[in-house]
Amino acid sequence: MNSEILRRRTLAIISHPDAGKTTLTEKLLLYGGALDLAGSVTAKKKQRDTASDWMELEKKRGISISSTVLQFEYKNYRFNLLDTPGHKDFSEDTYRVLTAVDGAIMIIDGAKGIENQTLKLYEVCKKHKIPVFTFINKFDRPTKMPLTLIDEVEQILGLKTYPVNWPIENGYYFKGVYDRMVKEVHLFERTSGGTYRAPFSVHSIDDNEIKKMMHEEAYNNFIEEVDLLEELQLEFDRDKILQGELSPVYFGSAANNFGVELLLKGFLEHSSPPTPRRTNTGQLLPLNAPFFSAFVFKIQTNMDPMHRDRMVFARVCSGKFERDTKVFNSRNKKEIRLSSSHSVFGKERKTADEAYPGDVIGFITNADFKIGDTISSDINIIFEKIPRFAPEMFAYINNSSTSKYKAFRKGLEHLIAEDIVQTFQLDNNFKSVPLLGALGLLQFEVLQYRLRDEYAVETTLEIMPWTLMRWLENPVESEILKKKLIYSGVSGTDYLKRQVLFFENKWRLETFREKNQEVELLDSITDY
């Protein structure tokens, strides 16, 4: 048990959109031996698709829309790699994924530095004390000065850094990196489209070959920066890395495969094996507890459109999972036999007969599972729930064809179960469909696209005027609440019948707060 736990690594890749997240994911799979050829997010017809962006809409839009699980073996270690959406509209999906990992690789575009979504995602990692490894990408293009980028990470994120390697020039002249840990220079050769592993050679820093390849001024600047790092930088401290206080920094180009394997090896060497998870009583559950437990962080329908299946993804937290095990859903106390269990690689799957803490497993099931549910052979174990955040956009989705009513209702029910959007019911409103809440318009577009693509249903979107929603900390009698809301907003309930209020803008929200200070409003809530 202990040796299996120690060889697990479970990580997420996070970044602002277009920083190269999906490209780096593909290259880690290439160097990890999980792919023979790396795909491209903007692939031409003769190129292969990416393993992580497998949905049709992802291929068309060239962005990650849904988090993806990718499992592979590297140097006798088992990686559970979770590729997350970078777009802010899908940040709730990314938040859920980050509850299931023990480490993260944060990608920064070398030309743009720290961007808004990078900052938000890092704050989630910081809150959960997730160790963060930094990969500063796109050094095959003109970038900011490396020292400037390091300074941005430290000043904007408040995160101490240790550059594990250092780039040798950038843009067209980008040649490779200096590995500070072993005092070696890695010079890379470009490959066509970055499809294959980049050939490289290893040299000492004072090798004449390097001096010949660089202009004298560029070489002197490079040596000066390396010397400066040795004088000013903090010591490499693995304990601080695991506590989330220090980030190892790697430079490279995911598109050209420069520095990718150094990142993979560095993550393997300096990251943590699976860590214990906290139950709702506040206790940390030992990994080698004598019973199996896991929690659900993602649900995906129609991964196999031929069978209209529904896969529930769970992070194993304790004990050994064995297929056909009888377990309990701790929320409804129902017993379920998990016979259709899988290890997952994008949309591909294979039967998983066993799994250990740190592993992500997928179950094909129609059982009543929701995001945040605990699965355990001990009925009394319940893990901390995953918070929900207030949506910022609201709409009704309407069926365009009465002949498709049954398919519309079925499709909407299935996709709502994935938590693509949140659902609400307005007080004194008797529409046959729920009010939908999302963080942005793109979530609604995905819902409409999938209804059309997977259920052959055309829909129209009826956007509502509210931009803010809050939960009530304590229930208020409906008639009293109605009087309080005059000219401010409207009331309703969420899917668990908890009271919520909708406001058109921040001014109306603040006006309500000023006049009703006894009513406590929440912008996030935990499902219990």
pLDDT digits (tens, 9 = 90+) for 491-503: 999 999 999 999 9
Does residue 195 form part of some domain?
A: yes
Average pLDDT over residues 16-32: 91
pLDDT tens column, 332-349: 999 999 999 999 887 788
Residue ending a domain, among 270, 295, 328, is 270
338 and 365 fall within a common domain: yes
pLDDT at 431: 86
pLDDT > 60? residue 95: yes
Residue ending a domain, among 270, 304, 331, is 270
281 and 265 fall within a common domain: no
Does residue 144 form part of some domain?
A: yes
How many domains, in total, are found in the chain?
Answer: 3
Does residue 74 form part of some domain?
A: no
Average pLDDT over residues 110-132: 92
Average pLDDT over residues 420-434: 90
Residue ending a domain, among 376, 408, 425, is 376
pLDDT at 305: 64
pLDDT at 136: 98
pLDDT > 50? residue 187: yes
Does residue 75 form part of some domain?
A: no
pLDDT at 40: 43
Q: How far is residue 319's CA from residue 284's CA, in Å, rounded to a whole number?
A: 14
108 and 217 fall within a common domain: yes
pLDDT at 528: 54
Does residue 200 form part of some domain?
A: yes
Q: How far is residue 169's CA from residue 171's CA, in Å, rounded to a whole number?
A: 7
Average pLDDT over residues 514-524: 93
Residue 494 lies in domain:
387-526
Q: How far is residue 15's CA from residue 1's CA, in Å, rounded to a whole number?
A: 34
> Does an H or E element contain 424, and which?
strand 422-426
Q: Of the given ranges (94-108, 188-202, 272-286, 490-504), which has the lowest mean pLDDT?
A: 188-202
Using CA of residue 500, residue 407, residue 370, residue 393, what is the dihedral sign? negative
With b for 16 or more beta-carbon neighbours within 10 A and e for fewer, the 13-40 pattern comes to bbbbbbbbbbbbbbbbbbbbebbeebbb
At residue 39 the predicted structure's pLDDT band, cuts being 50, 70 and 90, is low
Give the CATH number of the domain where residue 243 resides: 3.40.50.300
Q: Of the given ranges (89-93, 187-191, 341-345), which has the lowest mean pLDDT?
A: 89-93
156 and 18 fall within a common domain: yes
334 and 461 fall within a common domain: no
- CB–CB of 233/154 below 8 Å? no
At residue 383 the predicted structure's pLDDT band, cuts being 50, 70 and 90, is very high
- Helix, strand, coil percentages in the chain from 3-state DSSP, rounded to 5: 30, 30, 40
> Does an H or E element contain 94, and which?
helix 91-98
- Give me the chain's average pLDDT, please: 89
Task: Give the C-alpha distances (Å, rounded to integers) separating 26 from 31, 163, 194, 343, 511.
Answer: 9, 23, 10, 18, 49
Q: How far is residue 312's CA from residue 106's CA, in Å, rounded to a whole number?
A: 26
pLDDT tens column, 139-181: 999 999 999 999 999 999 999 999 999 999 999 999 999 999 9
Contacts of 363 by beta carbon, 8 Å cutoff, 6+ apart: 311, 312, 314, 338, 340, 341, 342
Does residue 318 form part of some domain?
A: yes
Residue that has been written with the tokens 């849904």 in this structure: 66
Q: What is the largest CA-CA distance in the chain?
A: 83
Contacts of 133 by beta carbon, 8 Å cutoff, 6+ apart: 103, 104, 105, 106, 247, 248, 250, 263, 266, 267, 270, 271
Strand partners, 12: 82, 104
Give the CATH number of the domain where residue 325 resides: 2.40.30.10
Note the residue count of the chain. 528
pLDDT > 80? residue 56: no
409 and 369 fall within a common domain: no
281 and 263 fall within a common domain: no
Contacts of 62 by beta carbon, 8 Å cutoff, 6+ apart: 41, 42
pLDDT > 60? residue 42: no
120 and 231 fall within a common domain: yes
Tell me which residue of 457, 438, 344, 365 sits closest to 395, measured CA to CA.
Answer: 438
